[in-house]
Structure 1
Amino acid sequence: MRMTIPVAKVLAALLAEPDAARYGLDLMKATGLPSGTLYPVLHRLQDAGWLTADWEEVDPAAAGRPARRYYRLTAEGVTAARQALAELRALAPRTGPALGGPAGAPAW
């Protein structure tokens, strides 16, 4: 898996609650990523076996909205995501303010 800032943001959001199922709009809000960036990342994670995706079983007319597609990290995904983010943090420059975050913190 190629680790990019968007991938790191998505993994960090999913790892915040690794057992929770999250849907696209929820992840867009958590990561600040637009849909055109988020969904390709989700598809790559799913193709890598790090993520599962399932449609919610809801009647759109009764719910007043379309069915949501929920994403959840697999056991392999949790392990791989934790390792990948730890490696990324170890490599991250310690110039947080230049990246938009506090000193010493990666910007994702």
Structure 2
Amino acid sequence: MTVKMTVPVAKVLAALLADPAGEHYGLQLMQQTGIASGTLYPILTRLQNAGWLTARWEDEDPSDAGRPVRRYYQLTPEGAEAARTGLAELRAQTSIVAPMTEAPPALGPAW
């Protein structure tokens, strides 16, 4: 399954690729990307449905941890490869194709 590469999706994938073998949780990803939970969690669900991510609940008792139980997300090997490819394609599409070879024309005197 393909995933549409939007700016928020690219930010989430870049954060996940910073530690591709690591487990990441929602609050951590929100802090790294600046993306709100209402946008982040649907992205994580789409990535999981596409087979790019696995998810699991931690085995921590919330009262012992003093916080809610975390859901950890981890890139699959296929997801890491697809993320790298997708981000590279996005970079290629948004970069300047040819560098400027001539200096811009000089501006006239200031008014």
TM-score by length of 2: 0.83
Letter in structure 2 aligned against 1:63 = A
1:82 is the counterpart of 2:84: yes
Equivalent position of 2:8 in the other structure: 6
* Higher Rg of the two aligned structures: 2
Q: Could you tell me which of 28, 40, 45 is aligned with 2:42?
A: 40
The CA deviation at 1:66 is 1.1
Gaps of 5+ in 2: 97-111
Letter in structure 1 aligned against 2:39 = T
The CA deviation at 1:93 is 4.3
Equivalent position of 2:27 in the other structure: 25
The alignment's C-alpha RMSD in Å is: 0.7
Equivalent position of 2:68 in the other structure: 66
- CA distance in structure 2 between the aligned counterparts of 1:62 and 1:25, rounded to whole angstroms: 19
Equivalent position of 1:56 in the other structure: 58
Q: Count residues with an aligned counterpart.
A: 94
Runs of 4+ in 1 over 3 A off after TM superposition: none
- CA distance in structure 1 between the aligned counterparts of 2:4 and 2:63, rounded to whole angstroms: 40
Higher helix share: 1
Letter in structure 1 aligned against 2:7 = I
TM-score by length of 1: 0.85
